[in-house]
Amino acid sequence: MTYDANPTSEVWTAIAWDGNDRLLAADLHFNRLARHSKILEINLPLNLPKIVFDKLSLLNSPEESINNKSKKPFLVKVTVNRDSQVSVTTTPNKIWKDSPLNAISMSAPDIPTPILGTKHAAWHHYINAREQATKHGADISLFFLNNFLIDGDRCTPVILDNDGVAYYPKNSDGALDSVTLEQLKVGIEVSGIPIREAKISLEMILRSYEMIVLGSGLGVLSIGNIDGQNIGNPKGKLYQAAKKIWLNRLELGWLGFEDIEV
């Protein structure tokens, strides 16, 4: 991906890859690409899944494939530009610590909705946010817009409020519609935790029981503090429920081209 100032010049997604010929929740990623491409007015090739899996077969496989559920997945980035050209490239996946993460708050990028809530081309804002987090001794950045939590630099935040309901930011407010969250929502509900989208204020975060973040690369991780303020009790029941489902997805959620309905 290029650092293009025009957010509508590309649409993309980062997908967990087993190092061979399978992608995690590939169907959900293709569906999201279709949704976001309409917003960005980019035409996807009709045979996009075949193109992606054909290109996947040409990538150099990592030394070790994902052969047990404790490993972090490899990642590939699928990009489609305004000429409907498709690229599939490997992208590094950070080795995340298992202890609760430290976060900093930042203003969300000045990009209008609904474009803000897509995998658009102006992703340099998010890369800069990662760099700022590192500069300030933190692990991730969390974006706020009009004093409400919107997104994370490479993750979707979820809180367990003191009313016992888990909340995540609304896509209509500019948050990314997370494929990882889509995989986990039903299981979180089954575990006994209702989960809903909402406007999440800093007051809600500070009173919450716990906060987690989700993503194709990082999986499920707990937040310990934001800007030095402790957040609830890390690794509580929301984290435990979401982590259990994620590990199950790492074991059973891989799809090849033959599994995709086209």
Domain end residue (candidates: 94, 112, 127): 94
Domain end residue (candidates: 94, 117, 145): 94
Look at residue 208 and tell me whether its pLDDT is greater than 60. yes
Of the chain, the percentage scoring pLDDT greater than 70 comes to 94
Closest alpha carbon to 92 in 76, 68, 70: 76
Q: Are residues 239 and 114 in the same domain?
A: yes
The confidence score (pLDDT) of residue 207 equals 96
pLDDT of 232-252, one tens digit each?
999 999 999 999 999 999 999
Q: What is the CATH number of the domain that holds 19?
A: 3.30.470.10
Q: Bridge partners of 230?
A: 225
Q: Are residues 84 and 105 in the same domain?
A: no
Q: Are residues 67 and 136 in the same domain?
A: no
The confidence score (pLDDT) of residue 70 equals 56
> In the structure, what pLDDT confidence band is assigned to residue 2 with cuts at 50, 70 and 90?
very low
CA angle 59, 45, 61 (to 5 degrees): 10
- Residue 261 belongs to some domain of the structure: no
Q: Is 232 exposed, middle or buried (0-12, 13-18, 19+ CB in 10 A)?
A: buried
CB atoms closer than 10 angstroms to residue 206: 14
The confidence score (pLDDT) of residue 65 equals 59
Average pLDDT for 169-198: 97
Q: Are residues 124 and 53 in the same domain?
A: no
Look at residue 50 and tell me whether its pLDDT is greater than 50. yes
> In the structure, what pLDDT confidence band is assigned to residue 124 with cuts at 50, 70 and 90?
confident
**CA 210/CA 208 separation, integer angstroms:** 5
The confidence score (pLDDT) of residue 1 equals 40
The total domain count for the chain is: 2
Q: Are residues 153 and 218 in the same domain?
A: yes
Q: What is the DSSP letter of 61?
A: P
Q: Are residues 142 and 238 in the same domain?
A: yes
Closest alpha carbon to 76 in 185, 152, 1, 155: 1
pLDDT of 53-91, one tens digit each?
999 999 987 766 565 555 678 999 999 999 999 999 998
Domain end residue (candidates: 37, 72, 94): 94
Q: Which domain holds residue 56?
A: 7-94
Least confident among 29-38, 116-125, 155-164: 116-125
Q: Are residues 112 and 206 in the same domain?
A: yes
